[in-house]
Amino acid sequence: KAGVTQTPRYLIKTRGQQVTLSCSPISGHRSVSWYQQTPGQGLQFLFEYFSETQRNKGNFPGRFSGRQFSNSRSEMNVSTLELGDSALYLCASSLDGQGSGYTFGSGTRLTVV
Amino acid sequence: AQSVTQLGSHVSVSEGALVLLRCNYSSSVPPYLFWYVQYPNQGLQLLLKYTTGATLVKGINGFEAEFKKSETSFHLTKPSAHMSDAAEYFCAVSVGTGANNLFFGTGTRLTVIP
């Protein structure tokens, strides 16, 4: 069965712009989580959606937002981009967002210039 | 609060030698524990997980880990390193019910010397 698909794989944006990243989870998975990975801060949790509702949120500014659609696909939006937003953004899907485990996509590499 | 500590940001082993990557966690309730591997320019691949039951967990590619509650540890081992094991390894903990998320350690980069 298909894995977690993230699009696009690479993105270059200018400071001040906004960006939308997409994640299609494994079929049947209802939980989608987003993580930011940077060399300095490592892997940090952004937010988790389950059945179109945000259940959990990490410690990121309001510029970072997300949503989940009825087919469980999720989007993440970052507004007013800053240089520090340059990172690998990883999406993880899970049946229930708990012990069943999380399957990660290959990520979207965002570069802000 | 949950946290994960991975001792050693870089570990080098010879091909065929034992691999031992250390992970200690902090959690006020029984955790779920995971090891993930990341190859360059890739996402994270699940190696193994502990939820409940048997404390020795076997994963893919010959890796295994043992949950030791008394030591709050979940070290990853492999009896014989292969060149293809060179990658970054992340230990993670997930706690609680309902809305969950993973807390990751800072990662250990494994180098395998031929």
From the list A56, A99, A107, which residue is nearest B101 (CB)?
A56
Binned at pLDDT 50, 70 and 90, residue A75 comes out as: very high
Amino acid (one-letter) located at B10: H
CA distances from A23 to A31, A33, A39, A83, A105 (A): 11, 10, 22, 23, 8
pLDDT in tens, B7-65: 999 999 999 999 999 999 988 777 889 999 999 888 999 999 998 888 899 999 999 99
Contact B43 A42 (CB under 8 A): no
How many other CB atoms sit within 10 Å of the CB of residue A106? 18
Beta bridge partners of B23: none
Mutate to test the interface with A, among B100, B106, B109 (most CBs of A within 10 A): B100
Beta bridge partners of B111: B12
From the list A45, A58, A104, which residue is nearest B44 (CB)?
A104
C-alpha to C-alpha distance for A96 and A11, rounded to whole angstroms: 30
Beta bridge partners of A53: A50
C-alpha to C-alpha distance for B3 and B74, rounded to whole angstroms: 13
Residues of chain A contacting B50 with CB distance shorter than 8 Å: none
Residues of chain B contacting A45 with CB distance shorter than 8 Å: 101-103
Mutate to test the interface with B, among A5, A21, A41, A43 (most CBs of B within 10 A): A43
Q: Are B60 and B73 in contact (CB under 8 A)?
A: no
Q: Are B89 and B42 in contact (CB under 8 A)?
A: no
CA distances from B35 to B12, B76, B108 (A): 18, 8, 11
From the list B34, B41, B107, which residue is nearest A42 (CB)?
B107
From the list B41, B43, B97, which residue is nearest A98 (CB)?
B97
pLDDT score at B107: 96
C-alpha to C-alpha distance for A104 and B46, rounded to whole angstroms: 8
C-alpha to C-alpha distance for A2 and B71, rounded to whole angstroms: 38
pLDDT in tens, A7-17: 999 999 999 99
Mean per-residue pLDDT, A16-29: 96
Mean per-residue pLDDT, A97-106: 81
Mean per-residue pLDDT, A61-83: 97
Residues of chain B contacting A50 with CB distance shorter than 8 Å: 99
Residues of chain B contacting A35 with CB distance shorter than 8 Å: 102, 104
Strands B56-58 and B44-50: unpaired
C-alpha to C-alpha distance for A13 and A18, rounded to whole angstroms: 8
C-alpha to C-alpha distance for B111 and B15, rounded to whole angstroms: 9
Which alpha helices (H) appear in chain B, and where do they start and end?
none
Q: Does A35 touch chain B (CB under 8 A)?
A: yes
pLDDT in tens, A79-101: 999 999 999 999 999 887 766 67
> What does the block give as tokens for B44?
């994270």
Beta bridge partners of B78: B19
